[in-house]
Amino acid sequence: MLLVHPGGPYWRRRDQGAWQIPKGEIDADEEPAAAALREVREELGVDVSAPLQPLGEIRQAGGKRVTAFAAEQDLDADAIVSVLFEMEWPPRSGRIERFPEVSAAKWLTIEEARTAMLPSQLPLLDRLAEQLGWLG
């Protein structure tokens, strides 16, 4: 399973429990599958050509709803190129800094992903394992 580590200063020192699926906002007239393809392109610099398999929707701990998909495709996790975002950093400094949306990506086994992944996204991991026939 490919997971990404969020970029920016808030995630810099977090590892275990911080890795996530690539995700982002769905635009007003956009279908969830189209948004997923766009977000992967923005966050990883990769176009997904494989068919998408729906994993359904979850609600993260902070309340954000995430609609997820799986796809089987080769990807070099070390070669990702993420778009940048701007924010004031340090807070109340008046300085605007730029950070990548994704600082890293890596391939993990289901077992490795279970400890690395953002806890509120674990139901997506279970759904993927079930689709692959890895859960009884």
CATH class of 2-131: alpha beta
- Mean pLDDT along residues 98-119: 96
Given a cut of 60, whether residue 120 has pLDDT beyond it is yes
- Mean pLDDT along residues 68-79: 96
**Cβ–Cβ contacts within 10 Å for residue 78, how many?**
8
- Mean pLDDT along residues 28-51: 96
Given a cut of 80, whether residue 53 has pLDDT beyond it is yes
Q: N- to C-terminal Cα distance for the chain? A: 19
Q: Determine if the pTM surpasses 0.95.
A: no
- pLDDT at res. 88: 97
- pLDDT at res. 135: 61
pLDDT band at 134 (very low <50, low <70, confident <90, very high): confident
Given a cut of 60, whether residue 28 has pLDDT beyond it is yes
Contacts of 1 (CB under 8 A, 6+ apart): 107, 108, 109, 110, 113, 125, 128
